[in-house]
Chain A
Amino acid sequence: MSEMRRVTAIRNGTVVDHIPSGRAMQVIRLLRIDTDRSTPVSLVMNVPSDKIGRKDVLKIEDRELSHKELDRLALIAPSASIAIIRNHAVAEKMMVELADDLVNIARCSFSNCITINDREPLPQRMRVVNRDPLEIRCYYCGRGQDIEELIEKIL
């Protein structure tokens, strides 16, 4: 039995593969699946992976992730691969890619940043200044962001 078959194959929806081991719960929160009671979700954690050692896999039924959701995903699972499933077949494959400029993905976590006033109309912006290790700063105030804190502040 292949690793992907640990849970039933889905008819329509999205498979998020190669999530770093242990991060699937964060991905669920990040994609707001945890508050959506209408979507069946299957979760596999800590399965062996040739690519990243151990991985988590998510199968989300009857929902296709948008590009904006993929951008958010890049914050915690930059190596994830996405398959959109239609009628049991892979209809589309996508790779998560972390952009240099993250617009309206997350709110700056610094309490004295100008963007803390949510009535200010310009978009939230973050800059990726380093990819390995991941280092993200607010475009406006320049503060380095704690990635875990940033996940809590996803828009």
Chain B
Amino acid sequence: MGDLVTMDDLTNDEILSVLGDANRLLPVAKGTLHLPLLEGKVLANMFFENSTRTRMSFEAAMKRLGGSVLNFSSVGTSVAKGETLFDTMQMIDGYADIAAIRHPRQGAAQYSADSVEIPILNAGDGAGNHPTQTMLDLFTINNSHGSLDGLNVILVGDLRYGRTVHSLSHALVRFGASLTMVSPTSLRMPKEIVSDLRSHGAEVNEAESLQDQIPDADVIYMTRIQKERFPDEDEYAKVAGIYKLRASDLSGVKKAMIVMHPLPRVDEIDPSLDSTDHAKYFEQAFNGVPTRMALLCRSLGVEVPKKVS
């Protein structure tokens, strides 16, 4: 019931309700208010692949709400000895009340959700989905623009392997966004995703040049070209560093336009942009805490009070 594997697990109303909860939990996320809504609850952080922000913000979210966290890493554990995902998850089913799972293989989150009783939150499965990242992205967009409706969003970089843009684009079109997908030919958005987006009636354009798209954008969502997803180094070298955004590129942009990035960045966003009002990527990284707090509460069936004080 409380699983979050893809954005299809949430209706638009549920998305807005979670974002409202996250907003009310902001003082708790910042540590200025104590609200132990999840006291006595245990989160298992199941990271079969490296993560910094996602793992830590899940941990911060759980602890700020009074819960505790079991951290699992596949290095040096039974997984290295050849244990199946099914067996590993059976163990966790007995140890924790909820699990966040990141796995290099696509479909691992759905597979886990079908293997256990406790709710599963997908924290990234291969090049598949990353819905909790999408929720914090939507939170950031909503708080900057005051609404999610009808925005012009430019997605840039690795759209083929980048799971954050897969989940985000699905969610954005449900709120009437126009999407422009800027990527090298070898890293274009998978065709079944583009076809899904268009079947929602969304305007989806594909382009290779970033500069032409900047003036009309409400959101520019940059992503890293992920070296680790390439089968060989030569293929990576052909496209590495292809898109770079500098403060000087933003002279003619809309005043409210925001630049986002799921981080870590390499050289896609020049540090000259950090001090502009358009830069939202560090705020976006912090937003993982209140958003994941709200998602943990939802999945565990704990209501966030209408007035948090």
Which residues of chain B from 103 to 133 have a CB within 8 Å of any chain A CB? 103-108, 110-111, 114-115, 125-129
Tell me whether A112 is interfacial, beta carbon within 8 Å.
yes
| Nearest B residue (CB) for A140 | B107
| Chain B residues within an 8 Å CB radius of A94 | none
What is the CB-to-nearest-CB distance from A101 to chain B, in angstroms, rounded to a whole number?
13
Which residues of chain B from 121 to 155 have a CB within 8 Å of any chain A CB? 125-129
What is the CB-to-nearest-CB distance from B156 to chain A, in angstroms, rounded to a whole number?
23
Q: Mark B198-225, 1 if CB is under 8 A from A, else 0.
A: 0000000000000000000000000000
| Chain B residues within an 8 Å CB radius of A120 | 84-86, 111
If over half of B's interface residues share one DSSP class (helix, strand or loop), that class is named, otherwise mixed; here it is mixed
Give the number of chain B interface residues (Cβ < 8 Å).
Answer: 22
Give the number of chain A interface residues (Cβ < 8 Å).
Answer: 20
> Which among A114, A117, A137, A142 has the highest number of chain B CB atoms within 10 Å?
A114
Q: Are A114 and B192 in contact (CB under 8 A)?
A: no
With beta carbons under 8 angstroms apart, the residue of A119, A140, A144 that contacts B84 is: A119
Q: Are B111 and A122 in contact (CB under 8 A)?
A: yes
- Contact (A113, B107) CB under 8 Å given A120-B86, A122-B115, A141-B126: yes
A139→B111 CA distance, assembly (Å): 9
Residues in chain B within 8 A of chain A (CB atoms): 6, 82, 84-86, 103-108, 110-111, 114-115, 125-129, 191-192
Residues in chain A within 8 A of chain B (CB atoms): 108, 110, 112-117, 119-122, 137-144
Q: List 14 A-B contacts (CB under 8 A).
A: A112-B127, A114-B85, A114-B106, A114-B107, A114-B108, A114-B110, A115-B111, A119-B84, A120-B111, A137-B192, A140-B108, A142-B106, A143-B106, A143-B192
